[in-house]
Every structure is written in structure tokens, then in C-alpha cells.
Chain A
């Protein structure tokens, strides 16, 4: 059994690597790999190889006081992760096999324990790759690479075993009539009890040591650090977190000796987990078959460009407006894509965005000493507006990038290419413009007094706001045209479909696209900028600056509109010549 697994793993990995090397003969993968390689080298690898000029980070465990704090903080994070494994899941214990593995292994004469061993060894591939990635990322902060690698591996293996063991335990509890909610209640009560113990201890041993004003002052984190260190390294917490500290301790070791000392308890804990999983007599086959289906759906979704990796379950959405049968067909495409966008813009998304905005404003208020809350909100709103203009098209994809899978349907419609192109661009442009106008409104309303004693009167702000508002729709159409043109010009480079590349070459391709998009966008801005500057200088000689800004903005918007019109015609021309069979070949 084990030899068969090694055979499968060895040949799968080997064939995959050979395939990826072979496709480097195609320029799109070769360029992607080169750019991706350069990116990975400068961002990650040079810290491993210790090349001159590389940053030398702080050794996490070098200072004894800090080491204890970091270890405790790591243990808390691990504790939360483990706790979630006992609280959130509601399904029966399952080992996630692929559908092919289910088809081959489940009917085969393999014992349940053999299947668990297969799964454990199979998961090593993912764990090793994750370890490599995490070492690349965290090595920037200093320390020995091999200690980081071994530490991550131990941590991930133990977590993996714990997740399997806890899923088996859940199943056993369910079989004994203990429901998910009963299990959650008990877990919650235990957590509450432990929390109460810590709070009572802290109240008795550190009376008056909770200065809320000092602890929430983000400009000076030292009081918060000292308070946390006291809580985590004395009293009941070190004992409560002991197993979790054992697991994270090897990772934080600063030399070989401390690593070897930390290794024993971590290995013991891992061995106990292994014993727990192997001894569990739980029927996981049925749940595994369901899990394999979900896994296949998730993989299919990821490969289709759904970054959340979840099979999208669509909900009926109220149409944004009533679509009458007569009229301009492009509006039909706008209507359709707005319904599609409604799937993404749920109330939850807006609440999360609002919370994030509030949190950022609060942090900036703490760090930007002397500035009030309102101007900071204004600045954030305006920064978000610019950010949305530049990066919005990467997230709002209710255009050709979404509909390319239905290209044959669109091609069969009796519409000239430019109308389809316009219809496809309208939905994301409308959404972006709407959000940007909202942010602009907030910015204009709250920017009466900016940091640095800069004061803007209402007339000035209204003129500037109105000018920017005139340009925003055209700017959005322009930024959206670039990725859409890229998709139609180079469909094989587009990151979608079942054969979408992964790894270094995919990262390189995305970087090339992003860089190319920015260059094209800034080049496209040149005519409008020239027009804006000329009008602004001219009008400013006779009228006031705000009026000059408004007039210049109107001219720039007109220039942009001409560019957008030409761009739509070009996109339509590209779509008419777009060979569906090429993109699907």
C-alpha cells in the first residue's frame, strides 16, 4: 500500500514538473516564469541566500523577554485555530480524498487504517510545499532557514493530525447522540471557565493595571506589550497554553541547541496526535465521498478563476431596473451584469468594508498625531477613490472577463461588436463610478480643514469635486478597457479556464499584466492631461482657480470620452475577430 502511494506521488509530481518545464517552450509561460522568478528572487530568495544588501531581520527568539512573549502569542494563535476546529465544523469526520482516489482506493482491498496512512502521507506534499512557502515569506525576518523550515513542518503536521483527530472525535460524539450545538456549548463553557480564571487572576495580581487609555494608544505600544507579557507569561496562562507553546517553540528557537531542546516535547505531542488518529475507529468513508465532491467543486471553481474557491451558489436578486423588450441592446448587457454583480455586493460585504474603513480611520487617528478624525476620514475616502480607480478593474470583472466562458452565446447575438463591448463595460464602470462618487462626496464634505492647516472653502471644494466627478466615469471606462482588451487580444494569457497556469509563471504573467495595464493607462492619460493643463493655465489667467479647475476637468473629460469611444470601437472590432475556438483550444 505504502509503496503504491510512493509510486503514485513520485510519478504525479515528476510528470507535473516535466509538463511545466515543457510548456516553458511557449513564450507566454517563459516570460511569465522569468518575471515571476525575478520577483520571487528579489522578494524571498535573496534573504535565504544572504546576498549582500539583503535585509537582516530581527532574530525572534534572541531576546529572552521577547522570546517568551512571542512564544505565548504564537501559542494563543494556535489555540484559537484549534478551538475553531472544535467549534465551527458541523459535518461528520471525513478525510478529503479526490474523486479519483475515492474511485480507485475505496473499492480496493485497503483497510481503513491503510486509507488513513495514505491520507497522512498524501498530505505531506501539501505540507512540504506550504512549509517552503512559509519559510520563503518568514525568512525575511531573519533566523536560520533550516530551523524555520523544521519548525513550520512540525507545526503544520501537528495541526493536520489535530484536525483529522478532532473531526473523528466530532463524528464519535454525533454517533453517541451529542449534537453539534451541545458540543459547541460545552467547548464554550470550558473556554468561559478558563477565561474567567485568567481574568480573576489578573484582577487580583495586577490591580489597576488596565489603563485603557494607554493600552489603546497606537502611537505607543509599549504599555500594551508589557501588559500582554504579564498576562501571558505568569499566572495560569503559561500552563493553559503549555501544549501550544511546545508546538511553536521549535519554530522560535534561535540556535541549534535551543531547537534540539524544544524538539522533544513537540515530537512527543505529534506522536500522541498520530496515535489518537490511528486508534480512532470511525467510519469516515461516506463523509469522505461527500467531501471529495466538495473538493472537486472547489478545485473546479478555483481553476475557473473564482478566487474564493467555492462553488458559487447564486441567489435570486432583484433586478436593478425593469428591462423592457425594446430599446438599446447594450442596456440589456448592463442589466444582466448588474444582476450578476449583485451576487458579490451583499450586505455583509458592505458591513465589512465599512468596518475596515472605520478601523483604518481609527488607526490613522492614533498614529497621525495632531490630526482630527474628520480630515483623516476625508483623506481615506479620497485615497480609496484613487485606489478603486487604479485597482478596481482587478476586482470588478462583470465584463468580458466573466462572460468569455459564454463567448459563443454573445457571438451569436445580432449585435455589432462595439455594442457588445459597450454593454460589457457598462456594469463595472457604473459600479465603480457609483462608489467613487460616494467616496468623493465624503472627501469633499469632510475636507474643509486638512492636516497642515490647509483650508478649503466650500466653493473651491465643490468646483474641484464637480470637476473630478465629470472625469470619473470616463476614467473608469478607460481603466476597464485595458484588461478587457488584453483578454480579447491575448486570450491564452488570460488567467481562466481549466488549464490556467499556476505557480511562478502565473505570478509572472499577472505582474506583466498589471505593469502593462498601468503603463497603457498612464499613456492614455497624456492627451487629457495636456488638454487639462492648457485650459487650466488659460482660464486661470482670467478667472479664479476653482473655475479654471472645473473648466479644465470638463475639457479633460471630453478628451477622455473621445478616447473611450475609440476604445469601445476597438474592443468591438477585437471581439468580432475573437476566435472562440482559439480560446478554447
Chain B
């Protein structure tokens, strides 16, 4: 579903993503992790056709994103960490607009359950300015999922969601993966990545450090599958200073 070969993105002399190659198959959820400035967001923006790569090829469902961009983009959705909404369109108008852009004929039949699933059905006539941060995020998600994309990119998808929203979002991601979507999630929340991702790709300074299933990565770093958690793997892979924090001092009850 997603095939990336030799992806490179340079800004002048600075190379943000360097010779990145990987593939994500239908039903797989890949976690894209790395320290700040590793090139995760740049990678996702290249993969969604927002910014052109300097070199390399990206194929979405068999369509080359450079030469057949319209067909490729029809199959994908990019859910940003910062919801990008039009200030003057209501929730319902956002969905109507997206339906026209993507040609979603059964828009009404899809929009209602989607809004209900995301618990913003009662806000259908509200403008983004009247929504909380979490609701805006949900609306952006609804817009992204309306056309039933086969490829989904998510940049920090849980930002701004409440605990129930987080739970539902996780379920929604897994459900869509089970339905056959290929999903890439970029996040610093390693426990989330470990919980829902079948594969991991660790980036550092624009280069791929390692990719594979968590078990494969654990085996490569420690020789024993399943013995390390993702946080330890991450620090080992990126050689970051990740010593466990000191326990907080115990506050005793003063005598008397």
C-alpha cells in the first residue's frame, strides 16, 4: 500500500530526510518515532504529497505520488497534529466540502455515523471557533476519514483528546487497520506506539536507524525477543540519554 524508496528531502544544504526506504502493507500500523528534528513530520508531509521530495519515489496503492498524484491522493488521508480547519465553515459544511473534493457520493450516509462515532454530532452547526481543541481535532479526523482512505497518516493523533477520546481513537485506528488500511503514526508517546503499532521505524537526523516489528527490533538489540520495552529500545537505537528518572523524595508526615 505504501512503498517508499530512497526518499530524500533537503532544504538547501540541510538534509531533513535522507535516503529513506520502507513499505507498509494493508492492515499494518507503523509507528514513526524519533527525537525532535529527526524528520518525522517532513517524512509524513512528503508521503502525503504536501511537499515534494528532493529525490526518491513514493507509491500509494500502486500510484506514483509524483506522476499520478491525483489518484494517489484519492486513497490517502493526512491527519495533522494541529487541526487545520476553515474558520468560516461549520462542522457539517466542512464535511460537505470534503465530500465534494473527494467525490464522496454517499456523504450523508457516512457523515452521520462518523460524527456520532467521534461524538461531535451535536456540534454539526458549530464553527471551529466554537469548538474545544479536542473537538477541532475530532472534526479534522472526521474530514480525513470521510472518504474511507486506504492509507492514513497521523501526526501525533492523540493531541488534545480527552481520555475517552484517546480510547476511542485507539480503537478507531485498530478497526481501520483490521479493515485493511495501511496506517503510519508519528508520535512521541512510545507507549501508544507500542500498544497499537505492529511495526516501528526509528528515525534519527533524517536517517532510518532501524525498522521492523517490535519483536524483531528487540531481538536485534538484545538478542531476546520481547524482553525490552519500546522506550528502552528507542534510547538504545538513538543512543539518547534516557536514564530512568530519580524517584521523588518521600514526603513524611511531621511528628506531632
Contact = CB atoms under 8 A, between A and B. Distances in A.
B52 interface: yes
A339 B88 CA distance: 7
Interface residues of A, number: 37
Given A313-B129, A408-B45, A577 B52 contact: yes
B11 A325 contact: no
Interface string B60-91: 00000000011111101110100010111110
Contacts of B103: 325-326, 329
Contact of B88 (A314, A326, A413): A314
Given A414-B71, A580-B50, A580-B51, A323 B129 contact: no
Interface string A386-419: 0000000000000000000011110111111000
Contact of B104 (A325, A413, A576): A325
Contacts of B165: none
Contacts of A323: 96-97, 100
Contacts of A332: 97, 100-101
Nearest to A329: B101
Given A325-B100, A335-B97, A408-B84, A415 B90 contact: no
Contact of A414 (B42, B73, B129): B73
Q: Which of A323, A325, A342 has the most C-beta atoms of chain B within 10 angstroms of its own C-beta?
A: A325
A579 interface: yes
Contacts of B105: 325-326
B229 interface: no
Contact of B51 (A317, A327, A416, A581): A581
A340 B52 CA distance: 29
B235 interface: no
Contacts of A329: 100-101, 103
B134 interface: no
A413 B73 CA distance: 6
A354 B51 CA distance: 46
B50 A412 contact: yes
Contact of B100 (A316, A331, A580): A331
Nearest to B41: A581
A336 B86 contact: yes
Nearest to B80: A408
A76 B42 CA distance: 60
Interface in A408-446: 408-409, 411-416
A579 B52 contact: yes
Interface in B93-122: 93, 96-97, 99-108
User: When A and B form their complex, which 4 residue pairs have the shortest distance between CB atoms, in order from nearest?
Assistant: A332-B100, A414-B73, A414-B74, A325-B99
18 contacts: A315-B127, A316-B127, A323-B97, A323-B100, A324-B100, A325-B99, A325-B108, A329-B100, A342-B88, A406-B84, A408-B45, A412-B50, A413-B73, A414-B69, A414-B72, A415-B73, A579-B52, A585-B11
Interface of B: 11, 42, 45, 48-52, 69-74, 76-78, 80, 84, 86-90, 93, 96-97, 99-108, 125, 127, 129
Given A319-B93, A332-B100, 10 more contacts: A325-B96, A325-B100, A325-B104, A326-B105, A336-B89, A343-B88, A411-B48, A412-B77, A413-B102, A414-B73
